[in-house]
Structure 1
Amino acid sequence: MNNPKHRREFLRQMALYTMGAGLLPSVLSACNTGSSTKESKDSTSTGQTPAASGAKELFFKISLAEWSFHQALFSGKLNHLDFPVKAKTDFGIEAVEYVNQFFKDKAKDKAYLADLKKRCSDNGVRSVLIMCDGEGEMGDQDAKKRLQAVENHYKWVEAAEFLGCHAIRVNAAGEGKPEDVAKAVEESLAKLSDFASTHNINVIVENHGGSSSNGKWLAAVMKNVNKPNCGTLPDFGNFCLNRTKPEANTPEAWAKTKCLEEYDRYQGVTELMPYAKGVSAKTHDFDANGNCVETDYARILKIVKDANYTGHIGIEYEGSKLSEEEGIRKTLELLKRVGAELS
């Protein structure tokens, strides 16, 4: 996740440090894997990726998270509308995961969304989900602010439905004691999930800093919410519970921070997989054999498989030693190689 996400932190308040913020601070028995109608549709969609020509298909499908191109997008070298086609033509990936930051003012712009949808349709690309940040804290202790945060996500639920996604990803952030934040998050998720159910959309929560990077905490939240369209998005890397404070609220400054306390990623993924409706394959660095330095992919993908997960695993490269394109390719090759060994 530690390699938490810059996108969330430089949009949200620094106060999460009081609960032990991760790089991108920002919840678990009825939320079964792929239990909703939309998720079932997602599991049977196109995009199943063979390990190699003529080889059997992987047990999961591969998607590309837009955050992998955050540098290119923030710099203007890549336009959000061009992302799906780039995923298909440059990497052969037929499913994409959007980040709302890159079309922040377009959630209700039907002409813009229709253009995006047509580009996907024309190129055989599936829109999987929208990662939502900067819309307020679901665990805010102020009831009015908490309700506003929930309602701020409604437009993204509607946009996700229009684009053909199966889910929106939200954050379980809030200030205060973990138990108080959990109670507030559970209330928010229940309300948002009820709204999303009328649009056939799942609400999924990522381990994304602070208490949400504690697998046991987030799994308990999911269990208490107890909604069939509410689940998790386990990220292989976002398990930092406490991080040094950045000198500035910029991606570069966050990249220089260090994790002071980290939750065991293998334990965390194991705890979150029973509720998973998506999985994020985080990578930063690779060794000479193409293996991820920070995460044992053979071990962590086995955890995913043992949970009987067959949905999309989204590539999310966040490293700095390789270019974004090279990092994406390395992650894709790693997923295919290890996935083939387990399939």
Structure 2
Amino acid sequence: MNSRRTFIKKTTLAAAAISMPSLYACGNKSKSNMPKISLAQWSLNRAFFAKTLDPVNFASIAKNDYGISAVEYVNQFYADNATDEKFWNEMAVRASDEGVQSLIMMVDEEEKLGDLDTDKRKKAVEDHYKWVNAAKILGCHSVRVNAFGEGSPDELEASLLDGIGRLTEYAAKEEIHIIIENHGLHTSNASFMTGIIKAVDNPYLGTLPDFGNWCLNAEWGSTETAKNCTNIYPPDEGLKEFLPYAKGVSAKSYAFDANGNETVIEYPKLLGIVKNSDFDGHIGIEFEGENMSEPQGIKATKALIERIWKSFI
């Protein structure tokens, strides 16, 4: 491990000034009148899955197509390169060359960190190590995970404490945060999840509150329509509970009216809560709409965030 750390340290020095997060990325309240905005790679998932865009060029796309200088990667687009340190060093240089910060590695499609089976849970934890290592090379401050497991919250509590706690211990050695996103079921129960965070009691464990994933009766938690979601955790309450532990905020968006307002999520209320908190990280655009193109959705979300933020001044 020491040799790997030395290798990483030497090979990322050229990119460090840009790709490492700012000293206040997860710290105290900003003095700036405008928010720091990042782009979540999932906003372009249709294009990446269709291979009309190359994930290798994500930093360049964010900067040159949208004027955004901070990015959040999604592991699904790099599955074949997960353990390739040369690849991740090249990605770090690409971001550095564009003047883009690498903030978060979002991890999906791995086994459940709260699996009730001890051996499966241990494997799930270890399967996340490669993404922590990739995030370290990129200069990210966090790895976003899903705190899933099969069972009721009471049944899962001990398993989540163990799985998430073990992964956080590993990540902390690399100075990488593990952050939990509200992604449906018990993970969207902010009170329950903050209880897990408090019990783990590790400063490297935090949250990534998402504006739109507060459905308690469906995995992934989308509240885009009421059809599949019959039990919603109040988004304003959940956001307030998650923000003290937040290392980022995911500004989910689905649809916009003719005036550029989001029609599903109460953006003024939620952004107001963020503005009035001590959060000083990036607000990440995560467009998931289907009735407009991904580029249109990204631009509409960015314009909305900036317009509402200015109204608070």
Do both share a fold (TM > 0.5)? yes
Counterpart check, 1:319 vs 2:289: yes
Aligned to 2:238: 268
Cα distance in structure 1, aligned partners of 2:124 and 2:196: 18
Cα distance in structure 2, aligned partners of 1:173 and 1:280: 19
* 3-state SS of paired residue (2:80): coil
List per-residue Cα deviations over 1:38-59 (Å, max 9, x = no partner): 87626289xx9x9xxxxx641x
Instruction: Give the conservation status (yes or no) of the 8 Å contact 2:26–2:279.
Output: no
The root-mean-square deviation of aligned C-alpha atoms, in Å, is 2.2
Aligned to 2:228: 258
Cα distance in structure 1, aligned partners of 2:225 and 2:83: 33
Instruction: Give the conservation status (yes or no) of the 8 Å contact 2:184–2:218.
Output: no
Match of 2:116 among 113, 123, 141: 141
Instruction: Give the conservation status (yes or no) of the 8 Å contact 2:37–2:282.
Output: yes
* 3-state SS of paired residue (2:112): coil
Give the deviation of 1:308 after TM superposition. Answer: 0.8
Counterpart check, 1:41 vs 2:12: no
Aligned to 2:167: 192
Query: Which shifted more, 68-77 or 112-121?
Result: 112-121
Give the deviation of 1:114 after TM superposition. Answer: 2.0
Task: Write out aligned runs for 1:52-201 (5 A).
Answer: 57-58=33-34, 60-201=35-176
Structure 1 unpaired stretches of 5+: 1-37, 51-55, 245-253
* 3-state SS of paired residue (1:104): helix
Cα distance in structure 2, aligned partners of 1:335 and 1:267: 20
Counterpart check, 1:332 vs 2:302: yes
Aligned to 1:308: 278
Change (3 A) 1:139 1:39: farther
Cα distance in structure 1, aligned partners of 2:286 and 2:33: 21
List per-residue Cα deviations over 1:99-152 (Å, max 9, x = no partner): 000001212112221221111111101110100011110110001111111111
Counterpart check, 1:290 vs 2:260: yes
Cα distance in structure 1, aligned partners of 2:61 and 2:283: 18
Cα distance in structure 1, aligned partners of 2:119 and 2:295: 42
List per-residue Cα deviations over 1:223-274 (Å, max 9, x = no partner): 1111101000000000111249xxxxxxxxx999622222111111111111
Give the deviation of 1:76 after TM superposition. Answer: 0.6
* 3-state SS of paired residue (2:216): strand
Could you state the TM-score of these two structures normalised by the residue count of structure 1?
0.80
* 3-state SS of paired residue (1:41): coil
Cα distance in structure 1, aligned partners of 2:158 and 2:288: 32
Q: Structure 2 counterpart of 1:313, which letter?
A: I
Q: Structure 2 counterpart of 1:74, which letter?
A: F
Cα distance in structure 2, aligned partners of 1:116 and 1:125: 11
Cα distance in structure 1, aligned partners of 2:24 and 2:288: 26
Give the deviation of 1:322 after TM superposition. Answer: 0.8
Counterpart check, 1:228 vs 2:203: yes
- Kindly report structure 1 stretches of 4+ aligned residues shifted beyond 3 Å: 254-257
Cα distance in structure 1, aligned partners of 2:181 and 2:297: 22
Cα distance in structure 2, aligned partners of 1:256 and 1:309: 30
Instruction: Give the conservation status (yes or no) of the 8 Å contact 1:131–1:168.
Output: yes
Cα distance in structure 1, aligned partners of 2:227 and 2:98: 40
* 3-state SS of paired residue (2:217): strand
Corresponding pairs, count:
288
Instruction: Give the conservation status (yes or no) of the 8 Å contact 2:21–2:103.
Output: no
Cα distance in structure 2, aligned partners of 1:321 and 1:261: 25
Counterpart check, 1:239 vs 2:221: no
Cα distance in structure 2, aligned partners of 1:180 and 1:139: 10
Structure 2 unpaired stretches of 5+: 1-19
Cα distance in structure 1, aligned partners of 2:53 and 2:297: 16
Give the deviation of 1:182 after TM superposition. Answer: 2.2
Give the deviation of 1:156 after TM superposition. Answer: 0.7
